[in-house]
Amino acid sequence: MESTPPTQTGSGNRLLDELLLARGPGGQEDEVRAVCHRELVKSCDRVWTDAAGNLIVLLDAGKPQGPAVKIMAHLDEIAMIVKRVESDGALRVVALGGANPVNFGVCPVDILAEGQALPGVLSFGSMHITSESPQGKDVQTGAVTWQDVHVVTRLSAERLKAAGVRPGTRVVLSRHWRQPWRVGDAIAAHFLDDRAPLAACIEAAALTAVRREELDANVYFVFTTMEEESNSGAMYAARALPGEVTIAVEVAPVMPEYATQLSVDPIISTGDQKAYYTRAVAEQLNRAGVRCGYQPQFALLLDFASDASAVLASGVCPQSGCLAIPTENTHGYEMVLADGISACARTLSQYLVDFS
């Protein structure tokens, strides 16, 4: 008789677990921002939130007129936003960020009303239907679109209105659906994009802080808002902060078409749908990874974008690069190697120490 396997409720990384449980739809990333702030004040010179909602961290090299570099990782996650409230209390929702219904599945959700989170269930309707039901064909074939989706609330439209649920209210996966799952040497969870890069940046900031005397440039870590929707946080910070180089820290897809593998070796993106990254920056990231004992993977990620490619394409910042953690199932139930986060952090810290 086989024994029942133990329940897995954590990744083994306290900070990552906390970041995964924090809810952070675009424009409402307060829970995630608070966790990052608490950790970053332990090692960094100055931590503040700007007018756009970005969390900014300064590692001061003591060279006020010297070069500066901006490191960006985003606070937000793919989510849903209410389009309308039906008369029966059902919510019609659309994607907030780059998501299709299949990315979430039929699942429990939190409706982020005013001052409270209301429970709901994301529903595609029953499979036991005919063509008489509008979404019938889509549900049965699995080609579900947002017009097939609603959120069951079991509350009246009047009670939802009183709670502050209206068009624009954010809907996210419920917290108990966010628990990480250990699979051998890997961690699986929703929202490793961008919680794993956040953890890597927090670790990199701590590693770099103890080597502050080796820095030739001021370093700004920028934990950005609204990356999944518009890159607006990054655009604001790129204009407001000094420095001619921006590095995005991201997850990157593990796919045969990109020749990328699920390993500890970070992925260096050479370009995506918004811009081709600065070659010299990519080479510098590669040298930093090699110095740390890794073999970085170069990839041209055509169906991808980042804060760094957005600011480069807009002309706001003249040079940019992207360092990423190899990830299975991007924008789904994602998986990274446990050591991949630290590999990214060490590579990034070495890059910053080498930067001049």
Confidence of residue 3 (pLDDT cuts 50, 70, 90): very low
Task: Give the integer Cα–Cα distance in Å for 270 and 283.
Answer: 10
Q: Is 7 helix (H, G, I), strand (E, B) or coil?
A: coil
Q: Spell out the alpha helix ranges (H) of the chain.
A: 14-21, 30-40, 101-104, 136-141, 157-162, 192-209, 232-240, 279-291, 307-313, 338-354
Whole-number pLDDT of residue 45: 84
Q: Residues 99, 76: contact at Cβ < 8 Å?
A: no
Task: Give the integer Cα–Cα distance in Å for 251 and 99.
Answer: 16
Q: Which of 89, 135, 92, 82 shows the shortest CA–CA distance to 113? A: 82
Q: Spell out the alpha helix ranges (H) of 169-298.
A: 192-209, 232-240, 279-291
Task: Give the integer Cα–Cα distance in Å for 256 and 235.
Answer: 32
Question: In percent, how much of the chain has pLDDT > 70?
Answer: 95
Among 27-31, 124-128, 170-174, 328-332, which is the least confidently predicted range? 124-128
Confidence of residue 132 (pLDDT cuts 50, 70, 90): confident
pLDDT at 1 over 70: no
Q: Residues 301, 337: contact at Cβ < 8 Å?
A: no
Contacts of 91 (CB under 8 A, 6+ apart): 82, 84, 85, 111, 120, 150, 151, 153, 160, 165, 169, 171
Q: Where are the domains of the chain?
A: 14-77+191-354, 79-174
What is the per-residue pLDDT across 254-289, written as a single tens digit (0 to 9) for each?
Answer: 999 999 999 999 999 999 999 999 999 999 999 999
Task: Give the integer Cα–Cα distance in Å for 307 and 323.
Answer: 12
Note whether 14-77+191-354 and 79-174 share their fold: no
Amino acid present at 171 = V
Query: Class of 14-77+191-354 per CATH?
Result: alpha beta
Question: In percent, how much of the chain has pLDDT > 90?
Answer: 85
Task: Give the integer Cα–Cα distance in Å for 287 and 293.
Answer: 10
Task: Give the integer Cα–Cα distance in Å for 74 and 223.
Answer: 5
What is the per-residue pLDDT across 149-200, written as a single tens digit (0 to 9) for each?
Answer: 999 999 999 999 999 999 999 999 999 899 999 999 999 999 999 999 999 9
Among 126-135, 200-209, 309-318, which is the least confidently predicted range? 126-135
**Strands, E, within the chain: which ranges?**
46-49, 55-59, 68-74, 79-85, 91-96, 107-113, 116-123, 150-152, 170-173, 181-183, 186-190, 218-224, 245-253, 267-271, 297-300, 319-327, 333-337
pLDDT at 9 over 80: no
Q: How many CA atoms lie within 13 A of 261 on its CB side?
A: 6
Whole-number pLDDT of residue 127: 72
Task: Give the integer Cα–Cα distance in Å for 262 and 271.
Answer: 20
Torsion angle of the four alpha carbons 117, 120, 124, 126, in this order, in degrees rounded to the nearest 10: 180
The residue-averaged pLDDT of 54-75 equals 92
Whole-number pLDDT of residue 2: 43
The overall average pLDDT reported for the chain is: 93
pTM of the model: 0.94
pLDDT at 56 over 60: yes
Task: Give the integer Cα–Cα distance in Å for 142 and 122.
Answer: 15
The residue-averaged pLDDT of 45-63 equals 94
Judge: domain 79-174, CATH 2.40.30.40.
yes
Whole-number pLDDT of residue 4: 44
What is the per-residue pLDDT across 29-52, written as a single tens digit (0 to 9) for each?
Answer: 999 999 999 999 999 989 999 999
12: left (phi over 0), alpha (psi -120 to 50) or beta: left
Amino acid present at 297 = Q
Task: Give the integer Cα–Cα distance in Å for 252 and 260.
Answer: 9
